Amino acid sequence: MGHLVTGQGSTYDVVVVGAGIVGAACAHFLTREGLRVAVLEKGIVGGGATAAGMGHLVAMDDSPAQLALTKLSLQLWRGLLEELPASAEYRETGTLWIATDEEEMAEVRRKYGLYSSMGLACEVLDGEALAKAESELRRPLAGALRVLGDGVVYPPVVAQFLLREVAERGALFTGRSVSSIEGNVITLGDGTRISTGYVVNAAGCSAVDLTSGFVMRKRKGHLIITDRYPGFLRHQVVELGYLKSAHSVTADSVAFNLQPRATGQILIGSSRQYEDEGAAVDDDIVRKMVERACAYMPGVARLSALRIWTGFRAATPDKLPLIGPSPGNPKVLLATGHEGLGITTSMATAQLITDMLLGRSSPIAREPYLPSRMNYEAAHA
């Protein structure tokens, strides 16, 4: 492992660019292995997509690789939970994947078979059991899949927590913007040059500005948070149609996705839009989100909204993150492109990055997430 020397004469093994949940998790895991790590963040810790996201920790099976990554990450999250401060608001709410008709119940049963075979605790609820599990849901509904190990967390606090030890044993620089990475030399916006053994590019949607050779798009999302309504909702509830929404690579989409916060507030999601890179709230999208939520849970109409905001997901063409060496610069490891799952998959990303840097094997195959697959796809397009 090469050492880096900063302008201040400090030496670090790895410099992580970006202090969102992904950069924070990578820095935490690397520090825990005894490496000296510096983190460079242009804004504040956990202030990017990490502050904008919903914080649902969820097993997802869009592809076998996605399921493997989310499952490993949920295991790693569980290992961290006892250490997390109460302000991280972790709760094992479970997820209810709601089916409206028999066709969607067939999907519930398919998911049940797959998740069970992977050792993920879950159960099929019929319409009656679902009504008991969440009394505010409209009736009748066909049923749901309840995934018991899924949870909810407040991500910016987790990012701050993960960086505490890094700041003590390495260095955390906020308000420091990286303008370029050449080989193993980082140049900051003020002209400071830093050389290092390895760089982890965890700059979220901005990662493409610092490392060339891959394509990523910004996918805008809106969220609404309500006043406090303790007892209104117990699980994270998501329509199975959410999967169609998340899979769509072209159209704007809205899906029913509700989360109970530890404060008693309800977080109402979710929307997905390409082509709109402005942060402004789109009233038409918000109206559609509320209509969709009321269609599943009519009582949402009585809730008062306190705040509405937008954020951007970093989306790759094949909907898997980029974890590993940049094909154009082996000194840079990418840790980005997590789209709507970066809170969940931050921990597994950190595990894979740490294993790669230490020359160890990993608990899951790393190939599906390697950035080199993008070049392969481009060459064979």
Ligand X SMILES: Cc1cc2nc3c(=O)[nH]c(=O)nc-3n(C[C@H](O)[C@H](O)[C@H](O)COP(=O)(O)OP(=O)(O)OC[C@H]3O[C@@H](n4cnc5c(N)ncnc54)[C@H](O)[C@@H]3O)c2cc1C
CB 136 within 8 A of CB 233: yes
Question: Site size for ligand X, by CB under 6 A?
Answer: 40
Question: Minimum CB separation from ligand X for residue 238, in Å?
Answer: 10
For ligand X, which stretch binds (CB under 6 A), given 139-147, 225-233, 238-246, 307-315?
307-315
- Let me know: does 356 contact 324? Beta carbons within 8 Å: yes
User: Which residue from 52, 46, 40, 48 is spatially nearest to 10, judged by alpha carbons?
Assistant: 40
CB of 109 to ligand X, least distance (A): 25
**23 is an interface residue for ligand X by CB under 6 A:** yes
Three-state SS sequence of 185-214: EEEECCCCEEECCEEEECCHHHHHHHCCCC
Looking at the Cβ atoms of 55 and 371, the one nearer to ligand X is: 55
- Does position 273 bind ligand X by CB under 6 A? no
> What Rg value do the Cα atoms of the chain yield, rounded?
21
| Site for ligand X contains 53 (CB under 6 A) | yes
Q: Which two tokens stand for residue 329?
A: 């610069």
Nearest residue to 38 (alpha-carbon basis) of 15, 21, 20: 15
12 scored as a contact of ligand X (CB under 6 A)? no
Among residues 27, 35, 37, 49, the one that binds ligand X under rule CB under 6 A: 49
Minimum CB separation of residue 380 from ligand X in Å reads 27
Residue 54 engages ligand X in binding (rule: CB under 6 A): yes
Nearer Cβ to ligand X, position 18 or 149?
18
Neighbouring CB atoms inside 10 A of 110's CB total 12
Q: Please identify, using beta-carbon distances, which residue of 147 and 178 lies nearer to ligand X.
A: 178
Residue carrying structure tokens 């509320």: 290
Is 178 a binding residue for ligand X by CB under 6 A? The answer is yes
With H, G, I as helix, E, B as strand and everything else as coil, classify residue 44: coil
In this chain, which of 94, 241, 327, 342 binds ligand X, going by CB under 6 A? 342
Q: Using the rule CB under 6 A, which residue among 149, 311, 324, 371 binds ligand X? A: 311
Rounded to whole angstroms, the Cα distance separating 91 from 78 reads: 11
Q: Which residues of 35-44 are buried (b: 16+ CB within 10 A; e: fewer)?
A: bbbbbbbbee
When asked if residue 31 is in the footprint of ligand X (CB under 6 A), the reply is no
Summarize as ranges the residues that interact with ligand X (CB under 6 A). 17-23, 40-43, 47-50, 52-56, 177-178, 202-204, 206, 210, 221, 223, 270, 311-313, 336, 338, 340-344
